[in-house]
Structure 1
């Protein structure tokens, strides 16, 4: 009898804990009208995050930025402000006015009409996909709904910029720009440590020019100085030393937005590479590439000390030349910005990050724009010819990026708050490529494989999955994502392609293990179980499912149809699983819009 009583007590406590866990996990299912308001501390944190970033150097905090009012067409109405007192303290206000003027000029030049703004949920989904690689969790949606609608977009952006998921996701994206997607040489290259180092830089909001300087001038061992892996990834092609040729190619593409790789072997005979300006263009020469490579010959491996700075000593036999010649370090344009004194790589780093080196700043803006929109604003994110102007909005953002002292978070804020990011992808008129190129409609772009995986996994959970999630959930996400990306197909360094979905990718979605786990009968983790148990009506169950998967509410037609189907279902949970499967396999989920 005593043993039985102890057993009942033990399992009784276990059952109580399970019920409490269910109640906690299901908290996101409540209606908007019944969702408790965020406390004042949360609201303060949202606004303080932006102010602290922008004013770190000045040592003072400004009020949360207030977005200028817009006209019905989406353009800023500079004569009217939502809150004049707050706007006067908003350091981004004048920047946004210049950016909006450039967009407006682009619409007029292209002769296109701008679509209306998208709704706040769509804009917040775009932010999440771009910054953390997944859609919103139901928890995040409910939290934003507790705020006034005018504050939701700003609050969500500021929360994402200090979110560990943003730091980690962008670290991976930028690591692919810097060192590629391959694992590199064994022993002397640690890609994971390099990615973690980048994540730390984004977390600390390190100025972008400082990140570039540390990469170009890195010294030490690749294990305790992770930035050195920018150099050691090339060891396998140069007998255990940094490969100056590969580093020159990577530098020109990642830092300068120039494709000068072909100059490695010959001069530019076809007029594809111009290293002059619009006023004084000239063809690219073979010497331009190798003089850039010569800077990196100063990086030498010195035993247990790792990579150390020495003298540059580069020799090369040019095409049609009889002998090798000594190649002195030099830059392919604006040589007047190159310091006369200092070690070779420090001189190069100073030249790349010089405020007057507009091409380097423009390259950074192009990369950030592409990450936020899922496509480049030009033909290619790493091909911005010196003698051609980029789209007007890129040029305007470049001016502001330099003026804001290479602050990446401010650059993100300016792009996200712009009309180009907030505009709908739908319009009452026929949408053409000209509309997308001019920022008159939001471009439709396919989600990357890891974004697809993250959307599936996040939709299956009520709460957002981050470093505060349980170890079980984090391990499950890590393993499931790697398996899904391997089966679905990793695009590698080719970040911004919109190729058609393949049959094998469709099959992975239709019959893949990840979908089965995401919608299956898991009462502890899966949202399908929580919705089936805690949604008070079928209508609420349908709406909650749409919010969790597609981050929007169903249309009246969709609501009526699926409520009827759910009423007809003999098993409510099975019906919700079926709806999840349908929504996860829709084209809408697989595209940013």
Structure 2
């Protein structure tokens, strides 16, 4: 028995520490990878953000808007050590999470292309349903790529293909970029001239899944659906090949094996044979094979790409950056971190909400955006400080409506309905006002808006646009109305900064507000301009 006890003790010494390491939460392992990614990281890195900065950042990232004054006051008054984790869980459980993710994935998938065959309202409802249910990401993408648009109940899922008119090269390129992190545009005509990993055969391997598909009855019909032939192979030739040799490829993922296609008997290639005004249905669908192949566990690029994109959404830049240039000459800033995130994401059944939560809980995410004194070099890819992120048009619009109190006034009006009032009803009041923000701040069609640059049109929009200015005048319950009823200038400053910037004013800011209010002849007009000055500021325009 003594020998057995000693043996057990030895096993415990050797195994239990390893088990302890394996059971560390992912957020802890993430921080270790980040810390190991820069020399003297702990000495050089910014401290954790204060509660004001954290509350605003995480509310924008997980709900797409800024906190109310009441939420700010409650969070600052809370002394619980786990209040940040509780806030993250509350936001992830709220209706705002599905709204925020729907906005993000709309831009990621459709890149602000005009709505053609699937109306925006149907598409946004579909996306919200996906994220409200926390549908696994692989199942979500299979729907996007396999749905033919013929059933009105599921047509919205076909928007990715339908609203690109199933143009074979456009869909091939965008599948490579959006779902695999590979910008293979140059590989359409030849192997990529500067990226050794991007081959022409890989490009056409993706297109081979699609080349038999077409829009029925035609691409111009707004109610067109996706149809497919049972025959047709992909041929390609490099423009640099003097011999003009033709190549043929079967469907396959880049770097993967050819997809095995079912064999069909001659004469049984179709379940519904081609005929005039009849949509053909082949015995098996190459496009459905695409949905299975791209989400297969054998295709590691699929999970790796979305993990990198979600990291970029939360952290302001990808571990591979830009996010659609994943290749050997553009290595990840933290390769071990990206590998571990990818493995864990697959192990957790492609759960996006779980992944977002783990990132939000890290010290890396919660660091201050203020560069510490003495830190002259803070490369963005080392995450020594939080990366500034410009608000998306949707975030800006909702944050503006919250800051000016428009959302508060609408929320108060809905309270008259009692228990019947819901967050979805409030969205119904706010969402229709997003049009001008998307139009002016959203960039051109086909642009995912990953690079921020202010334009003259945007400046004029913020200064004179009715969508902004129209929210400033007093209305029962909004910010200007609340401020007009406060007589103490210090209290005005406190409410103003809490509502717009989600923080308390500094002593200098409080004094400046007081000086302006005491010297004005038109107090209400001055209050309106104070609100406008803060919502037009760089501090408001960015998530920091």
Which residue, out of 506, 514, 525, partners 2:467? 514
Is the counterpart of residue 402 in structure 1 residue 333 in structure 2?
Answer: no
**Equivalent residue runs for 1:427-576 within 5 Å:** 427-431=371-375, 434-461=378-405, 468=421, 477-488=430-441, 490=443, 492-522=445-475, 524-533=476-485, 535=486, 537-569=488-520, 572-576=523-527
Q: Is the 8 A contact 2:207 2:234 kept in 1?
A: no
Q: Is the 8 A contact 1:189 1:222 kept in 2?
A: no
Is the counterpart of residue 347 in structure 1 residue 286 in structure 2?
Answer: no
Alignment partner, residue 315 of structure 1: 234
Distance 1:119 1:263, change over 3 A: same
Pairwise CA distance, 1:360: 1.5
Pairwise CA distance, 1:435: 3.6
Find the aligned partners of 2:528 and 2:216 in 1 and give their Cα distance: 60
TM-score by length of 2: 0.79
Which residue, out of 91, 101, 116, partners 1:160? 91
Alignment partner, residue 287 of structure 1: 201
Pairwise CA distance, 1:263: 1.0
Moved more, 405-414 or 153-162: 153-162
**Equivalent residue runs for 1:185-264 within 5 Å:** 185=116, 188-221=117-150, 223-225=152-154, 226-235=156-165, 242-264=166-188
Give me the CA root mean square deviation. 3.4
Q: Is the 8 A contact 2:320 2:331 kept in 1?
A: no
Pairwise CA distance, 1:309: 5.9
Q: Is the 8 A contact 2:60 2:395 kept in 1?
A: yes
TM-score by length of 1: 0.73
Which residue, out of 102, 105, 110, partners 2:36? 105
Task: For residue 316 of structure 1, give the secondary structure of its aligned residue in structure 2.
Answer: strand
- Give the total of aligned pairs: 484
Distance 1:473 1:151, change over 3 A: same
Find the aligned partners of 2:532 and 2:224 in 1 and give their Cα distance: 55
Task: For residue 210 of structure 2, give the secondary structure of its aligned residue in structure 1.
Answer: helix
Distance 1:387 1:520, change over 3 A: same
Distance 1:564 1:285, change over 3 A: closer
Alignment partner, residue 272 of structure 1: 195
Pairwise CA distance, 1:504: 3.4
Q: Is the 8 A contact 1:123 1:422 kept in 2?
A: yes
Pairwise CA distance, 1:214: 1.4
Which residue, out of 310, 314, 337, partners 1:368? 310
Alignment partner, residue 125 of structure 1: 56
**Deviations along 1:449-500, whole A, 9 cap, x unmatched?**
3333322221111755789579997676445432244345535543454444
Q: Is the 8 A contact 1:114 1:435 kept in 2?
A: no
Distance 1:255 1:432, change over 3 A: farther
Structure 2: 5+ residue stretches without partners: 1-18, 218-222, 263-283, 415-420
**Deviations along 1:399-450, whole A, 9 cap, x unmatched?**
3212222110011011111122100111333556644211110112322333
Distance 1:433 1:180, change over 3 A: farther
Distance 1:377 1:254, change over 3 A: same
Task: For residue 234 of structure 2, give the secondary structure of its aligned residue in structure 1.
Answer: strand
**Deviations along 1:501-523, whole A, 9 cap, x unmatched?**
3333223222232332222132x
Which residue, out of 334, 343, 350, partners 2:256? 334
Task: For residue 107 of structure 1, give the secondary structure of its aligned residue in structure 2.
Answer: coil
Q: Is the 8 A contact 1:375 1:496 kept in 2?
A: no
Distance 1:180 1:530, change over 3 A: same
Alignment partner, residue 211 of structure 2: 297
Find the aligned partners of 1:521 and 1:441 in 2 and give their Cα distance: 38
Find the aligned partners of 1:433 and 1:497 in 2 and give their Cα distance: 23
Task: For residue 295 of structure 1, give the secondary structure of its aligned residue in structure 2.
Answer: coil
Moved more, 398-407 or 157-166: 157-166
Distance 1:159 1:197, change over 3 A: same
Moved more, 361-370 or 138-147: 138-147
Pairwise CA distance, 1:184: 5.0
